[in-house]
Amino acid sequence: MTEYKYDVTMSCGGCSGAVTKALNKLEGVDKFDVSLEKQRVVVESSTLNQDEILAAIKKTGKAAKVATD
């Protein structure tokens, strides 16, 4: 299991809800947390890689990048 962190621009509950919905639907996600307050999305997966998860988040139309901290 690997943990991946992303900075995602989310302005309201509708934004974070959209990301939550996308991750709920994404096959291979074991656990995740979407924080509107921290503008941070943390995803745990054994089968998906960093870029695959990033692509799924970006499909929501949100600006997203791999977190460096």
What angle do the packed helices 13-25 and 50-58 form, to 10 degrees?
130
- Which residue, 14 or 46, is less far from a copy of itself as judged by CB? 14
Among 4, 6, 20, 43, binds a copy of itself (CB under 8 A): 20
Residue 40 touching a copy of itself (CB under 8 A): no
- What residue spans of 26-64 are helical by DSSP H? 50-58
Query: C-alpha angle with apex 65: 62 to 16, nearest 5 degrees?
Result: 40
Does 15 help bind a copy of itself (rule: CB under 8 A)? yes
Shortest distance, CB of residue 10 to a copy of itself, whole angstroms?
6
